[in-house]
A and B are shown apart, each in its own frame.
Chain A
Amino acid sequence: MNIVVCVKQIPDPAEPGSLDPGTKTLKRATKLILDESDSYGVEMALQLADAAGGGEVTLVSMAPNNEVSGLRTALAMGAAKAILISDPALAGSDALGTAKVLAAAIKRVEGADLILTATESSDGYTGTVPEQLAELLDLPSVTFAKHIEVSDGVVKVQRQTEAGYDDVECPLPAVVSVTAGVVEPRYPSFKGIMAAKSKPVDQLTIADLGIDPSQVGWAGAGQEIVSVEQAPARESGEIFEDDGTGAEKIVAFLENLKVI
């Protein structure tokens, strides 16, 4: 079974990030790493390919400056190859622009049975690319997968809900988004890292994909970041003195928050 995993390479969340005041977007000058959200999809794909007794996992990523560090991590985990789309014209792309680019790249992967994504990236959090991708590829879309099984051309997904999960089935090929934390991503081994060095990374521009520059980047973005504001400082909490009615006060407080 051949699986495509869309992976994003993002600035290391451990490093203090900053916004570019001009473009109001995240500065991406430093080395990028594999978005942790995507490591679950990669792990899931590797396990599915294993369970199917063969097939390849192909990574697709759009990133500035031909950045490959994050892809190397996923290749070291065991993915077979990668497609990287990097083009100055892509700066400022919104979710739909990104989906168009990824869709065009995925079409080049022959015999892709399943396309996995994360539910959302950890630096952008728009959470809409997977569905847009499915629409553009004209494929079924299943979201929030916590477990995936494939048999006889059908993908069976446990789709996480607030109360538990739904069992969902659809025919392959399909686009499935994987919830963070549902599998334990393997660490690359030393041998895996060395092997990843020689795995192919196909580096493409939007011209290679036949995409018109007006469709992507700042030019094609249907959204605009109007302003950026500091998150409000955390307010000090409420303190209840327990005069015997502490429990009731806590229940009332939680009810008020609508968490119980």
Chain B
Amino acid sequence: MAEYRPPLRDIEFVLDHLVDLDELTQFDEYKHTDPDTMKGVLGEYARFVAEQIAPLNRIGDLQGSVHDPATNSVTTPEGFVAAYRRYVEAGWGAVPFDPNYGGGGFPWLMGIAMQELISSANLSFSMCPLLTQGAIDLLVHHGSEEQKEVYVRKMITGEWTGTMNLTEPQAGSDVGAVHTRAVKQEDGTYRITGTKIFITYGEHDLAENIVHLVLARTPDAPPGTKGISCFIVPKFLVNDDGSLGDRNDVQCVSIEHKMGIKASPTCVMSYGDNGGAVGYLIGEENQGMRYMFTMMNNARLSVGLEGLAIAERAYQDALEYAQERKQGRAIGAPPGEQSPIIEHPDVRRMLMTMKAYIEAMRAIIYMQAESIDFSLYHPDPEIREHRKFLVDLLTPIAKAWCTDTGIEVTSLAVQVYGGMGYIEESGVPQHYRDARITAIYEGTNGIQAIDLVGRKLPMQGGDVVTDFLAMIAMLDPALLRGGEDLVSIRSNLADALTTLADTTNWIMTHGTEDPRDALAGATPYLRMFSLVTAGWLMAKSALAAKRLLESGKGDEALLQSKIATARFFCEQILPQVQGLVAPVTAGADDLYAFGPELFSH
């Protein structure tokens, strides 16, 4: 198990050459920042997480968080409390938030880069700040001024943490099915009763107060998603002077025993066992789902980022092991000596695949974050709108593909280790187990595929996706000018793009005729779409590296490796697109050829 080393060179390559930090830091809202300051902050944060948070990853897995049924309290693993205190003291949680409530006012992109580091260092730990971030995001947009003053300030400092309470036993993917009840009182507050399950960091010992955001129904609410309201339910009620008052009627009655992220407590929350938990309505009644949607893109991007982050960590371990472990003699190696396994072509293939996937994921995630910033603050409203559509379109890609791929990369890391990869002491199985949840929460990847096909393709009558495909095609002339090095990248991207465009047409026409056909192909279609998006960004990356080489700037070895990795991706991974045409366009007939009862025969 290698020590975590923040991949700052790779991150800076993306920040310098794939996104436009210079333009971003010209926006009025970001004028007080500049690329150098951002990198300076990132460098210090990297050191902090590598030295203070990463070493707690394994102990977190071994000890897990523990629930005490006598008190309904949860104790996090050794070291978590002190590490979180330091995180708060240093003010790291504030960086990307609104300066009006104590935030640092940095771009979301900056927050995402920081999040990559902490998620790689310790996925379980990182989820506490992450959930808090989601809750802040929702409150900043939809909370009242008073709610922001009382809750958001303390959450931005990290003194209080936040949770998102959607899931109930009968309401998972189908959020509209929530039963939790909210009854209005004469004083304008509500009393909340019901049970929520799977609530991340619903209870813990890291902070003095926990601000639960809870989806519930008022008695006369319309059924389904149209009747959901969103409430603030603090663990401790807050007095007028800001001090903590009575304990609210909400308890963590148990936590789950999980496959991975064991240090992150996944809580069953019981509201209102003693008459009702005090809840404060956010915005208006029945608008809860709409509010959720405003933070959804950000939250889904962050979970996609977890796929990248855990892949990077697993890759670092695998790379170190492949250089140390000696087995067999590589072709051309001197007789009588065992070679490091990195010299074997099959191990090389695994490492190269991991590296290429990681670079592609990072490009997708950081570009999405840049688009979020552009969609919020670019001075030109047309560009803002264009970028907002792009964010919407690519959110399921970032979430589902990066988490599926993250799992694949951690599985490859296990494989590189051979037998030791199956042994817990090596530390590698933890990455694989930890990664697995990312494809499930924050909307399963199946739901993401449905979102892409059912909601995102039809946006603006199909113009959004058409524009996006046209944008990819626009890279072609530059790739042509890039010369020899980029020839195969260019041709492979062009082929894959043509296939994606044709297949998209198929989906859009068949989708309206028989939605079941489109839904049947949704997951392979999402994969196809993602591979092309990734190929496009890898091509951009190669082009940037090529230009730098030509101008004699930058680290030559690094730049050559960027081009070679992009070429590997486009020549050897991107052509998978062709094999996906069949499952996307097969329609649903095969899947429904027989009924559920015959699956067992």
Contact = CB atoms under 8 A, between A and B. Distances in A.
Contacts of A73: 44
**Chain A, interface SS category:** helix
Interface stretch (A51-59, A187-195, A230-238, A245-253): A187-195
Interface string A166-205: 0000000000000000000001111101100100000000
Contacts of A69: 40, 43
Contacts of B104: 190, 194
Contacts of A188: 44, 90
Interface string A1-44: 00000000000001000000000000000000000000000000
B86 interface: yes
Contacts of B84: none
A187 B91 contact: no
A59 B91 CA distance: 25
A189 B94 contact: no
Given A189-B89, A189-B90, A197-B37, 15 more contacts: A14-B5, A69-B43, A72-B40, A73-B44, A189-B91, A190-B41, A190-B91, A190-B94, A190-B95, A190-B104, A193-B41, A193-B44, A194-B37, A194-B41, A194-B104
A69 B41 CA distance: 11
Contact of B47 (A187, A190, A194, A197): A187
Contact of A187 (B40, B52, B94): B52
Contacts of A193: 37, 40-41, 44
Nearest to B6: A14
Nearest to B32: A194
15 contacts: A69-B40, A69-B43, A76-B44, A187-B48, A188-B44, A188-B90, A189-B89, A190-B90, A190-B91, A190-B92, A190-B94, A193-B37, A193-B40, A193-B41, A197-B37
A197 B44 CA distance: 14
**Chain B, interface SS category:** helix
Given A14-B5, A194-B104, A187 B41 contact: no
Contacts of B43: 69
Contacts of A197: 37
A190 B44 CA distance: 9
B91 A191 contact: yes
Contacts of A191: 91
A187 B5 contact: no
Contacts of A76: 44
Contacts of B47: 187
Lowest 6 A-B CB distances belong to which pairs? A190-B91, A189-B90, A187-B48, A188-B44, A189-B91, A193-B41
Q: B40, B52, B86, B92: which has the most chain A beta carbons within 10 Å? A: B40
Interface in A190-236: 190-191, 193-194, 197
A193 B36 CA distance: 12
Contacts of B89: 189
Interface of A: 14, 69, 72-73, 76, 187-191, 193-194, 197
A193 B86 CA distance: 15
Interface of B: 5, 37, 40-41, 43-44, 47-48, 52, 86, 89-92, 94-95, 104
B133 to A, nearest CB: 15
B86 A187 contact: yes
A194 B90 CA distance: 12
A39 B90 CA distance: 17
A193 B104 CA distance: 11
Nearest to B12: A31
B90 A187 contact: yes
A29 to B, nearest CB: 9
Contacts of A72: 40
A197 B38 CA distance: 11
A47 B531 CA distance: 54
A36 to B, nearest CB: 10
Nearest to A73: B44
A194 B94 CA distance: 13
A144 B342 CA distance: 45
Q: A76, A189, A193: which has the most chain B beta carbons within 10 Å? A: A193
Nearest to B94: A190
A193 B41 CA distance: 7
A225 to B, nearest CB: 26
Nearest to B95: A190
Nearest to A77: B44
Q: B41, B44, B47: which has the most chain A beta carbons within 10 Å? A: B44
A155 B90 CA distance: 31
Nearest to B44: A188
A97 B420 CA distance: 53
Nearest to A31: B43
A195 B40 CA distance: 12
Contacts of B52: 187
Contacts of B48: 187
Contacts of B86: 187
Nearest to A190: B91
A190 B105 CA distance: 12
A164 to B, nearest CB: 29
A137 B550 CA distance: 50
A193 B90 CA distance: 10
Contacts of B41: 190, 193-194
B85 to A, nearest CB: 12
B457 to A, nearest CB: 41
A22 to B, nearest CB: 19
A184 B48 CA distance: 13
Q: B47, B86, B90, B104: which has the most chain A beta carbons within 10 Å? A: B90
A187 B37 contact: no
B321 to A, nearest CB: 18
A166 B86 CA distance: 34
A56 B47 CA distance: 26
Nearest to A30: B555
A73 B89 CA distance: 17
B84 to A, nearest CB: 14
A113 to B, nearest CB: 29
Contacts of B44: 73, 76, 187-188, 193
Nearest to B48: A187
A153 B16 CA distance: 51
Contacts of B94: 190
Nearest to A196: B40
Q: A76, A187, A191, A197: which has the most chain B beta carbons within 10 Å? A: A187
Contacts of A187: 44, 47-48, 52, 86, 90
